[in-house]
């Protein structure tokens, strides 16, 4: 069985679009609430929850994570960059696992995978710090042998394969198969190195048909499409409720 981790970053993105300048951008009257959505996702069967605290705090805030942790029912996979202050912050929040991701301030969402091979010592230091705290790490990488080998070498027990190229290729006839083959090869190389293989980015209700053929993936982390679908299918109730409140 492939596990599903639900990423609620985009709930926070929507909240920040309205409440960015409030003193308190979490809990209380502001909506939507990433912690509440994470609990709902858990009630609906999510195997885990992912939140990404970015250096610029553009979506998830530290308080969101703290609030979620107070009543979590599954486990938190916290995404952070390799920056020392982010590693320290992640250690202080004590998530069940950490996914180390690249961060580029201009990107809308995480674009490429982390260059572990090119940042070997920094990556090793971060992994060692989390390992010493009993927190397993996952390196978010492109499905390349050099990155897989580097991740294993620095002692990260898991990797998360970046599925963004596959997801983008899905809509172009003939282009997704080579991307899927790259992921399959990466999955096999990683398993051979003794790594646990997660995957994610850009997986949606259509391309999941191809993604699920990577059947040795332990867990897919999926965010945007799940949050989008919840908006689509939640709209009817939301309109009906507001109409009834306007006309009691």
Residues of this chain that interact with ligand PXP (CB under 6 A) are 7, 9, 52, 79, 99, 101, 109-110, 140, 160, 200-203, 221-225
* Smallest gap from residue 200 Cβ to ligand PXP (A): 3
Min separation Cβ 69 and ligand PXP, Å? 19
Question: How far is residue 171 from each of residues 109, 201, 212, measured CA to CA in Å?
Answer: 20, 15, 16
The answer to whether 111 and 129 are in contact (CB under 8 A) is: no
Q: Which one from 52, 103, 162, 219 is the annotated catalytic residue?
A: 52
List the catalytic residue out of 10, 42, 59, 79: 79
Catalytic residue among 10, 59, 162, 201: 201
Beta carbon nearer to ligand PXP, 190 or 200: 200
52 tagged catalytic: yes
- How far apart CA 21 and CA 92 sit, in angstroms, is 26
69 vs 199, beta carbon nearer ligand PXP = 199
Strand-pair partners of 138: 99, 158
Report the nearest approach of ligand PXP to the CB of residue 71 (Å).
23
201 is an active site residue: yes
Least distance (Å) between residue 178 CB and ligand PXP: 20
Catalytic residues: 52, 79, 201
């Amino acid at each position: 069985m492939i596990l599903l981790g639900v990423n609620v970053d985009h709930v926070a993105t929507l909240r920040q679009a309205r409440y960015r300048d409030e003193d308190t951008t979490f809990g209380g009257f502001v909506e939507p609430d990433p912690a509440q959505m994470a609990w709902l996702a858990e009630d609906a069967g999510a195997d885990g929850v992912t939140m990404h605290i970015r250096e610029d705090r553009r979506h998830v805030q530290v308080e969101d994570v703290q609030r979620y942790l107070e009543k979590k029912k599954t486990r938190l996979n916290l995404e952070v960059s390799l920056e020392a202050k982010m590693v320290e912050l992640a250690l202080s929040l004590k998530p069940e696992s950490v996914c180390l991701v690249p961060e580029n301030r201009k990107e809308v969402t995480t674009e490429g995978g982390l260059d572990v091979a090119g940042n070997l010592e920094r990556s090793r230091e971060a992994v060692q710090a989390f390992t010493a705290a009993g927190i397993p790490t996952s390196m978010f990488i492109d499905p390349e042998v050099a990155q897989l080998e580097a991740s294993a070498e620095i002692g990260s027990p898991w990797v998360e394969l970046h599925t963004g190229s596959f997801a983008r290729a899905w809509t172009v006839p003939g282009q997704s198969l080579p991307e899927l083959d790259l992921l399959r090869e990466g999955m096999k190389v990683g398993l051979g190195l003794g790594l646990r293989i997660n995957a994610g980015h850009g997986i949606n209700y259509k391309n999941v048909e191809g993604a699920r053929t990577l059947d040795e993936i332990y867990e897919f982390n999926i965010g945007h499409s799940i949050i989008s679908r919840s908006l689509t299918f939640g709209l009817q109730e939301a309109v009906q409720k507001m109409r009834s409140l306007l006309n009691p």
